[in-house]
Amino acid sequence: MNQLTKNKYNVFLRKNGLKPTSQRNIVAKLLFNGKNKHFTAEDLYEKVKLTRKNISLATVYNTLHSFVEKKILKQVSIKEGKTIFCTNMKNHFHFFNSFTGKLSDFSSDEIQINKLPAPPKGMKIESIDVVINLNKKN
């Protein structure tokens, strides 16, 4: 990673309240390059291993979860306990294709939610996540 690129991600990480580390820099470079992505931690780990052999899967998970905590990455829980991460932070929802295992975006304008339950006392609704599960027609 050249110095200019490294500085760009150091600034990005600091701006989002994260201490820049070489591991976070590598993950940020793979994720935040202007293209929206959906991936599992294992998918990302395979890409990271191509550039840095000494990063563990646990470090990738910890980095992803710190990005989710700082609200620069979305975590989407799918049926079967699968977790897919999403770099698109705009308000949107997802289709999950059970046949391919892939997640795809659709605009929040394409769905209407007419009524929500009242949140428990002392709580407020922060966000709404919608995942529509798909499968092949018979």
Express each pLDDT in 83-108 by its tens digit: 999 999 988 999 999 888 899 999 88
Output the average pLDDT for the chain.
89
What is the C-alpha to C-alpha distance for residues 47 and 88, in angstroms, rounded to an integer? 19
What is the C-alpha to C-alpha distance for residues 72 and 94, in angstroms, rounded to an integer? 18
pLDDT of residue 4: 47
Confidence of residue 109 (pLDDT cuts 50, 70, 90): confident
pLDDT of residue 6: 60
pLDDT of residue 69: 96
Identify the DSSP state of 65. Answer: H
pLDDT of residue 67: 97
Considering the entire predicted model, what is its pTM? 0.83
